[in-house]
Structure 1
């Protein structure tokens, strides 16, 4: 199975005309294995053999190519999450709810929610939008309910 996933990542890099380096493949593997957005410092802590500048460049090029998108947590820290397949170079289609858990500080992309149509005043044209919500994620909500009982 790991070979299949790695092959898929290699195809993804080919699709975006990027070299297939070990560091890029590892970052993709880590990003796709998580169900939450992750920050550069979090990635640095688990990928200590990839230097900070290289990781920054990988994240930057992945964002430019539409492989990942940036979302900010409650502290204003940039986190990165995997994009939809229809995102492209410098053109993201990640208009979904970003949920910030106030307890565990994880950021979730809630892709399956129906987003309301954005009705802007005349003369305004939005290329994209971001919607944030904060509260407790299911795991923290369950823990909170258990401590009350």
Structure 2
């Protein structure tokens, strides 16, 4: 367990359990969003599906992870940018990019989503902006 993992869990006021550490390490070692199925494959024998689900929910509630929904309505999860998120408020008004060759989904934190003014009576709870294309690695 690295100092970064300890700091993240301590900063979120979370106990350092083996499952939390394992899941956090997977996200810290990648730059792409991961589905629950991918996590289950990588964590086989370490923790079960229910533990993964509970940990993901806790990490979202604490501002460690955020949800990314792809074009097939598959929910993936990605690390939050500490500058924009806390346990009280997520700010994910940025673009997500999914590569149509390798399937990786990345957060593009430097590309904000333009604010949209909804008509009276409408309230947005979440905004998703997904660009499909070919990533720089697959284009190389």
**Pairwise same-fold verdict (TM > 0.5):** yes
- Superposed, 1:38-53 pairs within 5 Å as 38-48=34-44, 49-53=46-50
1:20-74 superposed Cα distances (whole Å, 9 cap, x missing partner): 1121111111101101100111111111121111111111110111110011122
Higher helix residue share: 1
Question: Which residue of structure 2 lines up, in the alignment, with residue 9 of structure 1?
Answer: 5
Question: Which residue of structure 2 lines up, in the alignment, with residue 97 of structure 1?
Answer: 95
Q: Distance in 1 between matches of 2:70 and 2:104?
A: 8
Question: Which residue of structure 1 lines up, in the alignment, with residue 79 of structure 2?
Answer: 82
List gaps (5 residues or longer) in structure 2. none
- Larger Rg, first or second structure (1 or 2): 1
Aligned length: 138
The RMSD of aligned alpha carbons is 1.9
8 Å CA contact retained: 1:93, 1:128: no
8 Å CA contact retained: 2:69, 2:128: no
Name the CA shift for 1:19/1:126 in 2 (closer, same or farther; >3 Å). Answer: same
Instruction: Give 1:88 deviation, angstroms.
Output: 1.7
Relative CO higher for 1 or 2, CA cutoff 8 Å, sep ≥ 6?
2
Question: Which residue of structure 1 lines up, in the alignment, with residue 139 of structure 2?
Answer: 141
Q: Distance in 2 between matches of 1:73 and 1:36?
A: 12
List gaps (5 residues or longer) in structure 1. 143-149
Instruction: Give 1:139 deviation, angstroms.
Output: 2.1
1:78-116 superposed Cα distances (whole Å, 9 cap, x missing partner): 110001213122521111001122222211111112432
Question: TM-score w.r.t. structure 2 length?
Answer: 0.86
8 Å CA contact retained: 1:70, 1:81: yes
- Name the SS of the counterpart of 1:113 in structure 2: strand
